[in-house]
Chain A
């Protein structure tokens, strides 16, 4: 662990200035402390965002839900508004980590959680994400946790958070304040970047950027939605695979709107547009859902350790849609 100073910040502008001077942010700290302990990051300063407020879930005038970046995962999971209108998000949060972690971790931090790739987390091994150009140890290594979608020859690390998968299904956006004070909205779907040949760049965040809030648009709050997570143990485990589904049926029971996303299998929260296309305009029945779910693993590149994720992804997506449609 590198020596660092600690500085609580009172406002976003001050935080941005510190970040530009070499500080890294800490909020809940549930990931940052591990990164520090394993010597994966070496900030000169930790700028503590907890004094910024930014917590709470509110309904905007148009019916959209605004989730403050510093809202703790457990608070959000328990929020009646979120549970009622955006079940997939509340379920994804409730399935995240453990109660202790959820009481500390923040929504903004969850979007920025670093990968759990075994090689990223062990400084003694090559990892392009941690040390660009050193090589990817996971390609030929212990890769049962790694991605089958969205990978490159440089990196197959999974973005491990549950919440962003649900947020992609809910067509949500992230409100970012730039270093100069300007605010901008970024769709969650475009927030994380594919590794390509720069796996060290994980999101669209720029130096000095701060996440202020997440916004779930009004139309998505009227959808029905659901989250299914497959994992090695019943709680406190990363998703081997997860599926987030949000949909609206028309009066005849046909799928009018649908967004499907997967987690645990891809280098970023992975939207499954082909699955959506197969179901849009159709009534949900078991056969159609099963056939549609087969498309979930389209384009998957598997390795000996993670080949199981292709069928698992199909099954998880199928399960989520069937359960949401009352067909399970």
Chain B
């Protein structure tokens, strides 16, 4: 049988999605379903003075209006070991538990009605009076403070470094110093966040948009002081998330409370505008870099300070220093991470959290250094190539970044770049070439899967994972099909249900490196189990054979010595009168993190066209080459990479929350004014995977590729804009006012 891993298999769930048969969280139809709508605070800080709910309660169809005055007091028990996706200190928002307003957009009431329209209308009739308190709504980098102990323990350290930065910087013949600003961004997945809560007695079922059903269950169990076993979370399809569905947001708690109150299943769906307040976002950041190099371009000192905004009721922090710590060889390094508390909802992970920010500053500063050195930007990267992770003092489990640079540069035609800015044009249009490096650390986590071989020749593989878009359904099907020796269409992968074996978070690019190996283990376990049954049987082709005399091969079992036929699984099951045989397998991170540092790498090259008179930048082509370890499915992997390029394009040129400090609020909270790229913005995108197979990191040899694909794109574009125009725009996005200003 041909290898299935590495084949460009089309999405196995594609037909269901395009024909509308895929059921998303909002679409589960339950008898007696009622609808909830939230009332959100309109002040940035203070307290609720009074709530007039009479009109809402009298409105047609209204079943309940709940505020802090009558909401049940919830235990909000602490989770002993907070999951990495949560804020690591402080208290998550305790929704409707007191009269305090902590940010503009905090829920102050929820209305439940027979229909969505009735609920929305009644919510608009709730009159709330507030007493305002002074609020911190202006980002002031000088107010930055180190992250707390909880975050430091979770790897979001306040400082890291090595060597003598000041001494080396003072002696460096070439120095650059710059400050970069990156605004608050929002995930804006197509599917809004939505929860259906359904109580049956003391048992609760949640149909939720989530990237992690197991954690959703755990969080709600802790909020309500329930046993996890009494909660089931179902989430078979997710319409994009980019990190916004990693943790469990307050509206889930509201839906659960509301369903309890009215004694019916309740659906609570956020509006597009509410998504800017009721879930997280990528925090505003400002960063300051100083680079010192010798005349040959070797980095001798590197200083990187990152300051990000954070909410005040809990502390969410990111690994923004991680890329600087190990992307380049540099003996003297100091990086600091600070947080500015503001009265806002809490930020949260958004594709490549922290790392995309750190890479942005570092890769723009490297470009500025290359200019000062009179050196090609690619050559500068090669001169500072890190042969090992200098911060950890460990070798890379694998690193093919050099091949990425070479492949992408060649494919892009980097050699045609004239070094001088403003030196390339076509008619009145300025042309710029820019490049940047991408990196994202590779992680693994423990998880399990089960495999059932059935009498009709199918294999059903299950794990409580998620598929927010990368193609988990498809890639896991391929891994199982190859391991079992079955065709892809004989394998079905099921996910998104807490009744299935435990899966780790579907985020941080860890799903395949973590769960993929559990799927392999489960497939092998079921083969072993079936072989054991066949050997132990009184009759049949393998009856009485020794344990290692029977092996799985070509979709069935055969003798290890190769003699005799291979008996398909289904035939064996029939011979032994079994409907199915099932086994579970799991995989855990091993000793690899003690021996190696692991990361996915990429090199991204872009061309921009700048219309200087109108201040517009367009990107006719991007070429990225990636070392992501082994590629399970080049088709879905390519989709991830070009999706990352498009996300990076948005970050560079379009995305920005327009924050009004007077209200402490994002004003462009809709898709007509918060812009993300449209098809017309996107021209040629090419993603190339350089060959690699990282068995040092995990048995499957994969490294993960969701996050790395967005890293490096925005700085490459900003660097190309400099090359086109001679203008260094250090604040994103690069919109017309910045080029005309």
Q: A residues engaging B (CB < 8 A)?
A: 1-3, 34, 37-39, 98, 116, 118-119, 121-122, 124-125, 137, 140-142, 144-145, 230-238, 240-241, 305, 307-308, 311-312, 315-316, 318-319, 328
Contact = CB atoms under 8 A, between A and B. Distances in A.
B667 A118 contact: yes
4 closest A-B pairs by CB: A235-B680, A308-B737, A234-B680, A118-B667
A236 B654 contact: no
Interface in B672-708: 672-673, 675, 677-681
B490 to A, nearest CB: 40
Nearest to B427: A328
- Central interface residue in A34, A118, A142, by most chain B CB within 10 Å: A142
B interface bracket (residues with beta carbon within 8 Å of A): 35 or more
Given A234-B681, A235-B678, A312 B615 contact: yes
B134 interface: no
B395 interface: no
Nearest to B615: A312
B668 A142 contact: yes
Given A144-B737, A232-B735, A308-B737, A1 B665 contact: no
B618 A39 contact: no
15 contacts: A1-B117, A37-B271, A116-B672, A118-B660, A118-B673, A122-B669, A125-B660, A142-B659, A230-B615, A230-B616, A231-B616, A232-B654, A233-B654, A308-B736, A312-B614
A39 B654 contact: no
Interface of B is mostly: loop
A5 to B, nearest CB: 13
A236 B736 contact: no
Contacts of A116: 672-673
Given A232-B736, A308-B737, A1 B614 contact: no
Interface string B29-58: 000000000000010000000000000000
A233 B654 CA distance: 7
Contact of B736 (A3, A122, A230, A235): A230
B740 interface: yes
B60 interface: yes
A312 B737 CA distance: 9
A3 B60 contact: yes
A152 B675 CA distance: 28
Given A1-B120, A124-B663, A312-B736, 10 more contacts: A122-B273, A124-B42, A125-B665, A140-B662, A230-B736, A234-B680, A236-B678, A307-B741, A315-B613, A319-B613
Given A121-B670, A142-B660, A233 B680 contact: yes
Interface in B690-741: 735-737, 740-741
Given A116-B672, A118-B668, A141-B667, A308 B740 contact: yes
Contact of B667 (A38, A119, A241, A308): A119
Contacts of B201: none
A116 B668 CA distance: 10
Interface of A is mostly: loop
B486 to A, nearest CB: 42
A236 B665 CA distance: 25
B41 to A, nearest CB: 9
Given A141-B667, A312-B740, A318 B124 contact: no
B428 interface: yes
Contacts of A328: 428
Contacts of A230: 614-616, 736
B681 A233 contact: yes
A237 B663 contact: no
A234 B653 CA distance: 11
A318 B428 CA distance: 14
Nearest to B735: A232
Contact of A142 (B42, B658, B680, B681): B658
Contacts of A2: 121, 124
A56 to B, nearest CB: 29
Contacts of A141: 660, 662, 667
Contacts of B659: 142
B21 to A, nearest CB: 23
Contacts of B658: 118, 142, 144
Nearest to A122: B667
A295 B94 CA distance: 57
Contacts of B672: 34, 116, 238
Contacts of A231: 616
A137 B660 contact: yes
A311 B740 contact: yes
Nearest to B428: A328
A3 B121 contact: yes
A270 B735 CA distance: 24
Contacts of B660: 118, 125, 137, 141-142
A285 to B, nearest CB: 16
Contacts of A319: 613-614
Nearest to B676: A233
- Central interface residue in B104, B665, B740, by most chain A CB within 10 Å: B740
B444 to A, nearest CB: 38
B121 A232 contact: no
Contacts of B120: 1
Nearest to A160: B672
Contacts of A305: 737
A233 B667 contact: no
A233 B679 CA distance: 10
B673 A145 contact: yes
A39 B39 CA distance: 13
A1 B117 CA distance: 7
Contacts of B740: 308, 311-312, 315
Contacts of A240: 736
B615 A308 contact: yes
B230 to A, nearest CB: 36
Nearest to B60: A3
A308 B739 CA distance: 9
B667 A318 contact: no
Contacts of A311: 740
Contacts of B616: 230-232
A305 B124 CA distance: 31
A121 B276 CA distance: 15
Contacts of B677: 233
Contact of B121 (A1, A38, A98): A1
A145 to B, nearest CB: 7
A235 B42 contact: no
A212 to B, nearest CB: 29
A251 to B, nearest CB: 30
Nearest to A304: B737
Contacts of B669: 122
